[in-house]
Amino acid sequence: MKSFFALIVTIALVLCAGAAVASEYTVQKGDTLSGIAKRFMGSASRAAYMSLAEKNGIENPHLIHPGQKLDIPEGFSFSESYRLQGQIGVISSAPAKPQSSRQSAEKKQEGVFYYRYPARDPYRGTLEKALELLGYPIEVRKAFVEKVRTTPKNKIVHIELRKGDRIAAMTFGKAKVKRNVIAAWDDQYHLYAARLYETEFEGKVYRLIYPLVCGNWSRLEERPIPAPPEVPYIEPPVPQPVPTAPEAPPYIEEEKPCPIEHEPIVGIGTWGNGIAEGDFAYAEYMQWRKKCLFDCSSEYSWGLGAYGSWEQGESELSSYEWDGHTVGPQAGLKYSGLYFDKEDKKYRLQQWTSKVRLVWEKTEGDNDTSGYHMTQDNLKLGAYVEGVKEFDDKWMGIITAEGWIGLDESIKSTWSGDTPSDRGNVQLGVYGQYKINEDWSTRFGGGPFWQQWDDMYGMHLRAEARWKNTVMFGPYANLFPFGKSSAYKGIPTSDLQTWGAFARVEFGEIIRQQDRKIRMQRVKAEDDERFGVIDADESKQL
């Protein structure tokens, strides 16, 4: 039994020694800074452990190591950032000595409410009523209501209440208010956190607190708006450069984070085979919003635009003629950037473009000899994907995929047995592009295709000359090496081989160059103003 008491006394002495003023402490395995603060400073609050961290030069209060020596502050010393200015929360450099209840009683003042038991009588009314009870001017009340309701939780400033702090007024219960309140709980080490809201009105800073322990909305004494501190002149900081985009040389590519890129394209063509011949034209427009799909530094663009086409043709075997047109909106997604060519140690272009089109197609067919006439309407969904990759200074590879699918179709015909033809098709292409000089390049290649209306599989081939990536023209062919379908019974396959020519103008490059010229004129003018322009004569004198 004696040994038990001895043990108790020893533990008590050790604990008391710890709870008193310890000058140095060696961190043990499993210790946390807040735990040490709680043990030696009586509080595990952020203010307490930050004070401890500050005193010991610890940058990350969540990272301490076993064996690390810590200086324990004598008493409770807050850094300026954690000290509450004014009547409340001014922390003495050493804890006040505990007073006996008699001593406290002797110092009691008239008209003062001693707040001894936090959380015994929490406020239970509305915020508006509390503000009214606390006697704030109406403008201040409105401001506080707004602040309390809109301040994000992580932005709320917290202060700590401790014994001896003075509070101008405090709400209790449903609609009670006490004025001239002094925190008077027994434990001088015990701190209670409170949310602080401040607002300025008529030259004063009004302060409202919400102690978390009790929810008794309270008013602190107003204080004058502090004069701005005299700040010593500091050299303006050197502008911080933004992350370098290695693939996007400054000024050359973009000026604004979200530039708009216009891309109109028009094209015409003609074709013929053993059974028919025809012409076609198309036009499309896309407005690309660069870099802004995910964030403004990405290499993606999204686009909206319109697509339209026209065609006409006539049969070589009969008097049948037809013409048709399509029109509809399109939307697209584009990735445009550079990749690093490790062999040549250069950044090279790579780009993916995808477009989705929804068009209405109307086709009319006539045969003057037989009196046949039909009108067909189709709703078609199409997709186009193009990938471009620069291999070296001369060569570039391109792959394309295009397809259409009919969603809805109807036909009006002089022949009662007529049914609408299916308008779907798929075409894949692989092309190589060779740069001849700065202005001219050539692209050639082809790939398989399938068309739904006559169920024919074939190969298309194309060669095009390209001038400044703006004007393109050349021949093309659709060949059918895989045979023919039943739709062409009795017709030699050779009559189906189709030859044609096309021309296309893509205005995007011209528009980009013009935009860039305008931008760079402005950049040069700004440079001249920023860095100065001096006369040649003046330069010689210098």
Partner 1 sequence: MKKLSILSVLLVALSTLSTTAFAEPKALPAGTMVNAVCVGSTATVTVSGVAVESMEYYYYFKPLDRVGAGNVYSFNLDEGRRFNFTFAGGYYAGLSAEMSKRYGYPASFLGQNIDIDNSNPLGAAFVITCPSVR
**Residues lying near partner 1 in the complex (CB under 8 A):** 238-257, 291, 296-297, 299, 335, 337-340, 342, 345-347, 350, 352, 354, 383, 385, 387, 399, 401, 403-406, 422, 424-426, 428, 452, 517, 520-521, 523-524, 527-528, 531-536, 539
Tokens of 47: 């203010």
When the beta carbons of 318 and 470 are compared against partner 1, the nearer one is 470
When the beta carbons of 184 and 520 are compared against partner 1, the nearer one is 520
Q: Of the candidates 124, 132, 292, 148, which has an alpha carbon nearest to the alpha carbon of residue 209?
A: 148
- Distance in Å, CB of 527 to partner 1, minimum: 6
For residue 538, the one-letter residue type is E
Q: Of the candidates 423, 386, 419, which has an alpha carbon nearest to the alpha carbon of residue 404?
A: 423
- Distance in Å, CB of 426 to partner 1, minimum: 5
DSSP β-bridge partners for residue 492? none
When the beta carbons of 164 and 328 are compared against partner 1, the nearer one is 328
- Distance in Å, CB of 243 to partner 1, minimum: 4
When the beta carbons of 273 and 425 are compared against partner 1, the nearer one is 425
When the beta carbons of 111 and 241 are compared against partner 1, the nearer one is 241
- Distance in Å, CB of 218 to partner 1, minimum: 43
- Distance in Å, CB of 346 to partner 1, minimum: 7
89: left (phi over 0), alpha (psi -120 to 50) or beta: left
Task: Name residues whose C-beta falls within 8 Å of residue 389's C-beta, 6 or more positions apart in sequence.
Answer: 339, 348, 349, 350, 351, 396, 397, 398
What Å distances lie between residue 25 and 12, 21, 67, 136, 385, CA to CA? Answer: 18, 11, 9, 47, 68
85: left (phi over 0), alpha (psi -120 to 50) or beta: beta
- Distance in Å, CB of 383 to partner 1, minimum: 5
- Distance in Å, CB of 329 to partner 1, minimum: 18
Tokens of 134: 């606390």
DSSP β-bridge partners for residue 368? none
- Distance in Å, CB of 511 to partner 1, minimum: 16
When the beta carbons of 188 and 350 are compared against partner 1, the nearer one is 350
When the beta carbons of 370 and 521 are compared against partner 1, the nearer one is 521
Query: How many other C-beta atoms can be found within 10 angstroms of the C-beta atom of residue 419?
Result: 10
Q: Tell me, rounded to whole angstroms, the distance of Cα 325 from its chain centroid.
A: 41
Assess contact for 146 and 128: CB atoms under 8 A: no
When the beta carbons of 327 and 520 are compared against partner 1, the nearer one is 520
- End-to-end CA distance of the chain: give it in Å, rounded: 100
- Distance in Å, CB of 163 to partner 1, minimum: 44
When the beta carbons of 6 and 518 are compared against partner 1, the nearer one is 518
- Listing DSSP states for 54-102 in one string gives HHTT-S-TT---TT-EEEPPSS----GGGPPPSSS----SSPPPP--HH
Q: Of the candidates 29, 82, 28, 30, which has an alpha carbon nearest to the alpha carbon of residue 52?
A: 82
